[in-house]
Amino acid sequence: MKSAHLSCRHQPPCPTADSADREAATLVVHWPVQGWGLLCNGVVLFEDTGELLPDGQVIEPHRPVGAISSRAA
């Protein structure tokens, strides 16, 4: 089976699935109702920011951690 990133015809080419910037690859399939999309490099990206790499490796969600501020009344 051919790797998805080897068939990428985008210019510039999409980052590979093992690149740190893999999420910058072009979205080729999007199922917003189910909460996922497939990137050109074969990465399945979930709306909770988790990822499934083409080799089966799971990347846990990595949402930014921020303090929730509240205003005094």
Model confidence over 13-30: pLDDT tens digits?
A: 999 999 999 999 999 999
CA triple 53-57-62, angle to 5 deg: 80
- Structure tokens belonging to residue 26: 């072009």
Task: For the chain, report the end-to-end CA distance as a whole number of angstroms.
Answer: 61
* Residue where the block lists tokens 């949402």: 63
pTM as predicted: 0.74
Contacts of 36 (CB under 8 A, 6+ apart): 44, 45, 46, 47
* Residue where the block lists tokens 């089976």: 1
User: What per-residue confidence (pLDDT) applies to 2?
Assistant: 41
Sequence ranges of the domains in the chain? 4-59
